[in-house]
Amino acid sequence: MRSREVPERARRETVTDDVVARLRAGEAAAFGVVYETYRARVYAFLLRLSGDAHTASDLAQETWLRLAASAMRLTPETDVGAWLFTVARNLHRSQRRWTLLDRDRLAALGLMAPRAAASPLDEAARDQLTRKLEHALAALPVRLREVVLLSTVEGFSAPEVARMLQLAPAAVRQRLSRGRALLRAALDHDAPGGDDA
Amino acid sequence: MRDDDTDDDPALSRALAELPRVDMPKLAARALRVRAERRLDGRRPGWLARQEPRVLVALSAAQLVWAVLRVLDLAAP
């Protein structure tokens, strides 16, 4: 086994303490830097969590408006990336509770809307493996999916993810291991020579 | 996951790390940035905004005085 690495893309894209200090002073240019650095990451995270472009867009808007409203209350040590992903995840969690209630009500009335045919994730997938991986991710339970996304896709460490999700690091590692095992099983199952071949 | 953990499947880690980054539509992203920056700016109240409560109190008081004077004027023989 070898050391698990931070994805190169996530490692590159962070903001400096100077930008955080300027953001705390309410400087719009600093907000712009943070926005351009994290916008796509936060949106893609929410899209993979929710599986719906409209929901992801609404939650991303709320996340950024909250940053604008709270910028002056950040501390100098704040990791803006972790702050954004924590807010985004919590917003999704709370939105999901309401959606589940609504779905139950709609199902009871026989008014469930059909799911959209093609997701933006399907459209963006470059190859078959990526498409399968997106589908396998979407099929993971949300509590496992959020850990896989934050750690393996976004490159946060176990203690960081634990702080973001308010879990013990051991619980994060356990969820990550379970999530990865399910992903591997889904990919193996679909592969030629897999279980169904 | 960072170096405090080990990787049991580097190919899976790589595939996950290389998932395409889907972005918001450009127009929506631009509109959101403008809206958020406006809110950020709104959190820094200018001189006029700081004076607003005082101006409102002064206008209300002036209106009250005017109404009293008007009533007294009508009541006068």
CB A36 within 8 A of CB A181: no
Facing A3 at nearest CB: one of B3, B18, B21: B3
* Selected residues 91-130 of chain A with any CB under 8 Å from a CB in chain B: 120-121, 124-126, 129-130
pLDDT of A3 above 50: no
Q: Dump the DSSP string for chain A.
A: -EEPPPPHHHHH----HHHHHHHHTT-HHHHHHHHHHHHHHHHHHHHHHHS-HHHHHHHHHHHHHHHHHHGGG--TT--HHHHHHHHHHHHHHHHHHHHHHHHHHHHHHT-PPPPPSS-HHHHH--SHHHHHHHHHHHHS-HHHHHHHIIIIIT---HHHHHHHHT--HHHHHHHHHHHHHHHHHHHHHHSTTSTT-
B33 touches chain A (CB under 8 A): yes
Convert the pLDDT of each residue in A81-123 to its tens digit: 999 999 999 999 999 887 766 666 666 666 655 555 456 776 6
**Of A120 and A10, which is predicted with more confidence?**
A120
pLDDT of residue B6: 54
- Shortest alpha-carbon distance between residue B62 and chain A (Å): 35
The pLDDT of residue A194 is 46
* Amino acid A106: pLDDT: 63
Inter-chain CB proximity A7 and B17 less than 8 Å: yes
Report percent pLDDT > 90 for chain A: 49
pLDDT (0 to 100) of residue A99:
74
* B28 to A57: CB separation less than 8 angstroms, yes or no: yes
pLDDT at A192 over 60: no
Q: What is the pLDDT of residue A175?
A: 95
B57-74 pLDDT, tens digit per residue, is 999 999 999 999 999 998
- What mean pLDDT value characterizes chain A? 83
Mean pLDDT lowest among A43-52, A159-168, A187-196: A187-196
pLDDT tens per residue across span A48-85: 999 889 999 999 999 999 999 999 888 988 899 999 99
User: Is B2 at the interface with chain A, CB within 8 A?
Assistant: yes
Which pLDDT score is estimated for B32? 93
Q: What is the pLDDT of residues B19-43, one digit of tens each?
A: 888 899 999 999 999 999 998 887 6
Residue A49 · residue A145 · CB < 8 Å: yes
* pLDDT tens-digit map of A11-36: 557 878 888 888 888 888 999 999 99
Q: What pLDDT does residue A93 have?
A: 93
Query: pLDDT grade, residue A1 (50/70/90)?
Result: very low
